Chain A
Amino acid sequence: MLLQTAAVASTGHSLQGSVAEWIWLVPVLPLIGFLINGWLSLRAVGHVGPADPSGEEHGHGHTDDAHHDAHDDGHQATRHPSASIVSVVGPTVLILAFLLAVAIFAALAAAQPDAPFVKQLFTWMVAGDFRVDAAFQVDQLSMVMVLVITGVGALIHVFSVGYMRDDPGYPRYFAYLNLFVFFMLVLVLGASYPVLFVGWEGVGLCSYLLIGFWFTDKVNADAGKKAFVVNRIGDFGFLIAMFLLFANLGTLDFSGVNAAAPALGAGSALVTVICLLLFLGCAGKSAQIPLYVWLPDAMAGPTPVSALIHAATMVTAGVYLVARSAALFSMAPAASLTVALVGGLTALFAATIGLKQWDIKKVLAYSTVSQLGYMFVGVGVGAYAAGIFHLVTHAFFKALLFLGSGSVIYAMHQAYHHTGSHEDAQDMRNMGGLKQFMPVTFVLMWIATLAIAGIPPFAGFFSKDEILGAVFARTHGSTLADAQWFGIPGSAVLYAVWVFGLAAALLTAIYMTRMMLYTFHGPNRSGEREREHLHEAPWIMTGPLVALGVLSAVGGWLNLPAFFPAGPIQALHHWLEPVSGDAALQVTHGAEAHMTATTEYTLVGIAVAIAVAGIAIAFARLKPAALVPKAEAPEAEGFERVLEHKYYVDEIYDRIVVRPIESGSRGILWRGLDAGIIDGLFVNGSAYLARGFGWLGARLQTGRTGTYAWVLVIGVIAVLSAFSLR
């Protein structure tokens, strides 16, 4: 960092003095929103004095009785007193941040600097040789992320205004959401690993708070805690990776690490271990095997939260971290292969589970896990731009899917609320035929579904194709293909990853079509009385959906494939070149990964064929008309049952990790070692020993003066005789 500063000072960065100097304001704006909304929230609840709990009484009554099924609501009629201020403050700070980010982006695009612009704010920690500044880094990668976060974030904030309007915790919700955006921006803007880590843990905190937003339900509180703790397991790896980097390189700034990284030795065990530990962190944050278990549970939070945090932004932080550490990963082929393989496996594994979920949000959750796996395949094989590309398009269509599902749930919930029913508003077996009631949502959801399934010309097609193409291209003539992975040739691993990717693509098309079929097509299963109340959500909610729909449709134009005749060909790829271009080239031995046009066309053909096949299979095999509502549905049998129970992974973790730790701590460590051996045997034991000796001594005290006198005399005689005999 010192070198960096000196370099900047002497030469002057092209962005110096430009609008990029204001980069600190981008995260600070949501922070201001957090402070205002947080204060409003606390002030309002603080007013509800305990002496007059009647206002609260109603709320308790509801939440206590409410079924878990009905949690994703917001249908209490107790609108918050400061709701109108919050509705303005919450989204406005995001929109302002987005506008500022656009301005900075434009400045960056105009300047096209090769080195990142680092804005130093103040010195954070100094100790010994260690020094880290609170500094923000403006470069091509971070600004792409900032645009996605503030842009999609702003849309989701607007959507939330409608979705959460009637929730009694409205200001608290926006406070958390603003705080989340603040930390997420710190994460992507941080100029060093520790600053990134601030955001990294901070978004985890907000995720925790928002998953458990309706905290009086134990399931929600459990899910929040699980998310945080599982993330912490990943953070453990991240921390150790940072310690290793510091111990070996003496710095944790990105620029310093990138400059010094070659000293670690390409392909050395050290850099492999560092990358694997970093990836452990990513696996936690981005829900990869084996740490993916928290994400499906995280759906307990409000649906816009799922869209923003658990689909578009936070869960992609792991992908960002790998891309950010491209210099390290490109030096560690074995670790990169692990990333790609884990990504591929997760993509496939989660997709199979997604096939049999009934909760609409659970389908999307497993879909997210699966798509994150794709991104890791991309960054794992060294196609960092492709991974980021998929991250961006995924943010568009997955946010759309989640918000669309939120819109559906909102409608279902309103309907159930009107009739006083306690049916599950998220179960697809209770939906069906919604296209006639919610036409806008229906069309937009189909766009997103085609995008995620990989149908051209929608966004997901381009990004997914780019990743699969990159995997195929690297099976020959890359450091990955030449490397060994536990004795297996790297090219074999890559072929396997490619097959996993294709299989996951097929499954993705199937389960997404299934979701659409069961939700929007066929007969309606919500019940006679409810049907009358089903209608489209207000415009404040559908507006953002439309915007996301447009982005999902045209997002692929960000990075058109090389064989395309015209348009912005590989725009994102070239844009990101200053950040990860060198690393990507190192993976492919310095040459651009290149395939013949025939190979490319064949690959694209296979991908499209698979997507179409998936949709066709779903249409052919699934009969929405044959479905029955949840309450009447029979138990699934055989393998379907295993899928429905998510391969029993949660149960297995519970048995082999959670319970042994708890019972071991209680039985062996606490009751046994602490209270038993240390305290019982040694501490109280020595006390009992002393007491025992005291008891023996007390036996000599008869209390009879006569006895004492005799003892005295005998003693005197003994002493005297001893003296005289000497």
Chain B
Amino acid sequence: MIAESLALSAVLFTIGTIGVLTRRNAIVIFMCVELMLNAVNLSFVALSRQYGVTGQVFVVFVMTVAAAEAAVGLAIIISIFRHRQTVNLQNINLLKG
């Protein structure tokens, strides 16, 4: 059972990673990041059966952080969209040195 869960987690994480790397729309990338976080959550929950409750506690933490991140991240994305009328990351390089 644990093997399957971890495999699923790995598949989800990989999908998320590839999404982050290949997609250009900020919203999509954001969703992919969430996917990665949840993949990790899944492996935490799965492994907690074996290693005790700590993993589940961690999941709660991660979900909290993810919620906060969603709030801040979406706010930033909306703010960028208002300014630039686009959320395509190819066109956004404010951090260029």
Contacts and interface: CB of A to CB of B under 8 A. Distances in A.
A263 interface: no
Contacts of A702: 93, 96
A62 interface: no
A698 B96 CA distance: 8
A5 B17 CA distance: 100
Nearest to B95: A703
A17 interface: no
B20 A709 contact: yes
B93 A703 contact: yes
B89 A705 contact: yes
Interface string B29-53: 1000000000000000000000000
A726 interface: no
A62 to B, nearest CB: 69
Contacts of B85: none
Interface in A687-724: 697-706, 709-710, 713
Contacts, number: 30
A701 B92 CA distance: 13
B1 interface: no
Contacts of B20: 709
B97 A701 contact: yes
Contacts of B89: 704-706
A698 B21 contact: no
Interface in A18-72: none
Contacts of B21: 706, 709-710, 713
A699 B90 contact: no
A617 to B, nearest CB: 92
A713 B17 contact: yes
Which of under 10, 10 to 19, 20 to 34, or 35 or more describes the interface residues of B?
A: 10 to 19
B24 interface: yes
Nearest to A708: B95
Interface residues of A, number: 13
Contacts of B92: 703, 705
Nearest to A699: B97
A701 B93 CA distance: 9
B72 to A, nearest CB: 16
A98 B90 CA distance: 100
A287 B2 CA distance: 109
Interface string B16-29: 01001100100001
A704 B24 CA distance: 10
Nearest to A716: B17
Nearest to A704: B93
A703 B90 contact: no
Interface in B81-96: 89-90, 92-96
Nearest to B32: A709
A700 to B, nearest CB: 7
A698 B97 CA distance: 4
A697 B97 CA distance: 8
A701 B17 contact: no
A702 B91 CA distance: 12
Nearest to B18: A713
A47 to B, nearest CB: 67
A706 B20 CA distance: 8
A706 B23 CA distance: 8
Interface in A459-482: none
Contacts of A705: 29, 89, 92
B90 to A, nearest CB: 7
Contacts of B94: 703
B86 to A, nearest CB: 14
B96 A706 contact: no
B21 to A, nearest CB: 5
Contacts of A704: 89-90, 93
A67 B20 CA distance: 90
Contacts of A713: 17, 21
A704 B92 CA distance: 7
Contacts of A697: 97
Nearest to A695: B97
* Residue from the set B24, B90, B95 with the largest chain A CB neighbour count within 10 Å: B95
A713 B24 CA distance: 17
Contacts of B29: 705
A701 B95 contact: yes
Contacts of A706: 21, 24, 89-90
Contacts of B97: 697-701, 703
A466 to B, nearest CB: 91
A700 B92 CA distance: 16
Contacts of A709: 20-21
A701 B96 CA distance: 5
Contacts of A703: 92-97
Contacts of A700: 97
Nearest to B24: A706
Contacts of B93: 702-704
A704 B94 CA distance: 8
A317 to B, nearest CB: 73
B24 to A, nearest CB: 7
A702 B20 CA distance: 17
A704 B17 CA distance: 16
A698 B20 CA distance: 24
Contacts of A699: 97
Contacts of B96: 701-703
A707 B42 CA distance: 28
B9 to A, nearest CB: 16
A701 B94 CA distance: 10
A521 to B, nearest CB: 93
A705 B90 CA distance: 8
Contacts of A701: 95-97
**Which of B20, B94, B97 has the most chain A CB atoms inside 10 A of its CB?**
B97
Contacts of B24: 706
A699 to B, nearest CB: 7
A698 B94 CA distance: 13
A700 B95 CA distance: 11
Interface in B40-82: none
A365 B21 CA distance: 96
A695 to B, nearest CB: 8
A711 to B, nearest CB: 11
B55 to A, nearest CB: 21
A698 B90 CA distance: 19
Contacts of B17: 713
Nearest to B20: A709
Given A699-B97, A702-B93, A705-B89, 12 more contacts: A698-B97, A701-B97, A702-B96, A703-B92, A703-B94, A704-B93, A705-B92, A706-B21, A706-B24, A709-B20, A709-B21, A713-B21
State the 8 A-B residue pairs at the shortest beta-carbon distance, nearest first.
A703-B93, A698-B97, A703-B96, A701-B97, A703-B95, A705-B89, A709-B20, A709-B21
8 contacts: A697-B97, A699-B97, A703-B92, A704-B90, A705-B29, A705-B89, A713-B17, A713-B21
